[in-house]
Amino acid sequence: MKILVPVKRVLDYNIKARPKADGTGVELAGLKMSMNPFDEIAMEAALRLKEAGQATEIVAVSCGPAANQETLRTALALGADRAVLVQCEGELEPLAVAKLLRAVTLREQPGLVLCGKQAIDDDANQTGQMLSALMGWAQATFASRIELQGASEALVTREIDGGLETLSIRLPAVITTDLRLNEPRYATLPNIMKAKKKPLDTLTPADLGVDTAPHLKLVQVFEPPQRQGGIRVSDVAELVGKLKNEAKVI
Amino acid sequence: MTLLVVAEHDNHNLKASVRHVLTAAQALGGEIHVLVAGCGCEAVAEAARALPGVACVRWAEDASLGDGGAENLALLVTRIAREYSHVLAAASAFGKNWAPRAAAQLDVAQISDIVRVDAPDTFTRPIYAGSVWATYRSTDPVKVITVRPTAFDAAPGEGAPAPLERLDAEPGSGLSSRKDLSLSPSERPELESARVVVSGGRGLGSGERFKALLEPLADKLNAALGASRAAVDSGYVPNDYQVGQTGKVVAPDLYIAVGISGAIQHLAGMKSSRVIVAINKDPDAPIFSVADYGLVGDLNEIVPQLTAAL
Q: State which CATH number among 1.10.10.370, 3.40.50.1470, 2.40.50.140, 3.40.50.620 fits the domain covering A2-245.
A: 3.40.50.620
Spatial contact of B248 and B191, defined as CB atoms under 8 Å apart: yes
User: How high does pLDDT run on average in chain A?
Assistant: 97
Check pLDDT > 90 for residue A203.
yes
Alpha helices in A52-188 (DSSP H): 68-78, 94-108, 127-135
- Among the partner-chain residues A160, A229, A249, the one whose CB lies closest to the CB of B275 is A249
Quick check: B236 pLDDT over 90?
A: yes
Shortest CA distance to B249 belongs to which of B153, B110, B149? Answer: B149
- Cross-chain CB nearest to B176 (options A11, A93, A170): A170
**pLDDT tens track for B139-166:** 999 999 999 999 999 999 999 999 999 9
Q: Is the pLDDT of residue A226 over 90?
A: no
Span A182-207, average pLDDT: 97
Per-chain mean pLDDT for chain B: 96
| Nearest-neighbour CA in chain A from B65: distance (Å) | 14
| R_g of chain B computed on alpha carbons | 21
Residue-wise pLDDT for A167-192, tens only, equals 999 999 999 999 999 999 999 999 99
pLDDT tens digits along B39-87 = 999 999 999 999 999 999 999 999 999 999 999 999 999 999 999 999 9
pLDDT band at A227 (very low <50, low <70, confident <90, very high): confident
Q: What is the pLDDT of residues A30-60, one digit of tens each?
A: 999 999 999 999 999 999 999 999 999 999 9
Q: How far, in Å, CA of B91 to CA of B113, rounded?
A: 5
Number of other residues whose CB lies within 10 A of the CB of residue B63: 12
Q: What is the mean pLDDT of residues A222-250?
A: 94
Residue B44: the pLDDT is 98
Distance (Å, whole) CA A214 – CA B191: 36
CA distance B213 to B302: 10
pLDDT attached to residue B105: 98
A214 CA: distance to closest CA in chain B (Å): 8
B127 and A CB contact within 8 Å? yes
Domain-by-domain residue ranges, chain A? 2-245
pLDDT band at B187 (very low <50, low <70, confident <90, very high): confident
pLDDT mean over B82-96? 98
**What is the Cα–Cα distance from B278 to B252, expressed in whole angstroms?**
14
In percent, the amount of chain A with pLDDT more than 70 equals: 100
Residues of B in contact with A133 (CB under 8 A): 74, 100-102, 104-105
